[in-house]
C-alpha cells in the first residue's frame, strides 16, 4: 500500500517512500510541531508586550508570527506536505487561502480608503462616535 495512485486523505501521515526517508517517528512529528508552536506563541506574547521593538512594526511582526504558526500547524498537525500524494489537499488549501486573503485584505483596504476619503476630519469623527 506504499505507492497508492491516490492522493492522501487530509490529516493522514504520509506512508510513501519519500516521506519515510524522514527519520522522525509519528510521535516525533507531533512533538516537534508542538515545541515549534509553543515557541512561536511565546514569541508572539513577548512581541506584544516588549518595548524593545519599534511600536508601529509590532502588528506586522505579530501577523508574520501567526502565519508561521499556521504553517507549523498545517505541516506537523494536519500533515499537509508538498508530496505528490498531497496535490488535491494543497490545491484546496491554496484556493481557500486566496479567498481568505481577498476577503480580509480587500475589506481592510476598501474601508481604510472610505474612512480617508469620506470622513471630514478625525476630530469630527471622534465627536460623532462619542455622541
Partner 1 sequence: MNVAVAAYDAKQDAIAPASEAGPAPKRIVVAFGFWVFLLSDIVMFSALFAAYAVLARATAGGPTGAELFNQVNVAIQTAFLLISSYTCGMMSLAVSARQRLNTYMFALVTFLLGAGFLYLEVHEFASMIARGATPQRSAFLSAFFTVVGCHGLHVTAGLIWLAVMMAQVAFKGFRPSVDRRLLCFALFWHALDIIWVWLFTAVYLMGIRA
Of the pair 21, 60, the CB lying nearest partner 1 is at 60
Phi, psi for 4 (deg, rounded to 5): -70, 145
Of the pair 23, 101, the CB lying nearest partner 1 is at 101
Q: Is 83 exposed, middle or buried (0-12, 13-18, 19+ CB in 10 A)?
A: middle
Nearest distance, CB of residue 106 and partner 1, angstroms = 8
Site residues (CB under 8 A) for partner 1? 1, 3, 5-12, 26-27, 30-31, 33-34, 37-38, 41, 44-45, 47-49, 55, 58-59, 62-63, 65-66, 69-70, 73-74, 77-78, 88-89, 92-93, 95-96, 99-100, 103-104, 106-108, 111, 129-131
Spatial CB neighbours of 84, under 8 Å, sequence gap ≥ 6? 16, 18
Amino acid at each position: 500500500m506504499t505507492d497508492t495512485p491516490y492522493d492522501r486523505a487530509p490529516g493522514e501521515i504520509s506512508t510513501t517512500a519519500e516521506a519515510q526517508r524522514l527519520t522522525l517517528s509519528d510521535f516525533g512529528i507531533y512533538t516537534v510541531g508542538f515545541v515549534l508552536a509553543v515557541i512561536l506563541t511565546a514569541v508572539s506574547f513577548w512581541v506584544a508586550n516588549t518595548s524593545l521593538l519599534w511600536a508601529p512594526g509590532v502588528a506586522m511582526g505579530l501577523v508574520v508570527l501567526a502565519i508561521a504558526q499556521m504553517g507549523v500547524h498545517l505541516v506537523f498537525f494536519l500533515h499537509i506536505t508538498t508530496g505528490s500524494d498531497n496535490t488535491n489537499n494543497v490545491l484546496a488549501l491554496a484556493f481557500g487561502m486566496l479567498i481568505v486573503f481577498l476577503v480580509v485584505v480587500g475589506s481592510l483596504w476598501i474601508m481604510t480608503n472610505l474612512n480617508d476619503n469620506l470622513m471630514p476630519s478625525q476630530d469630527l469623527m471622534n465627536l460623532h462616535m462619542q455622541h
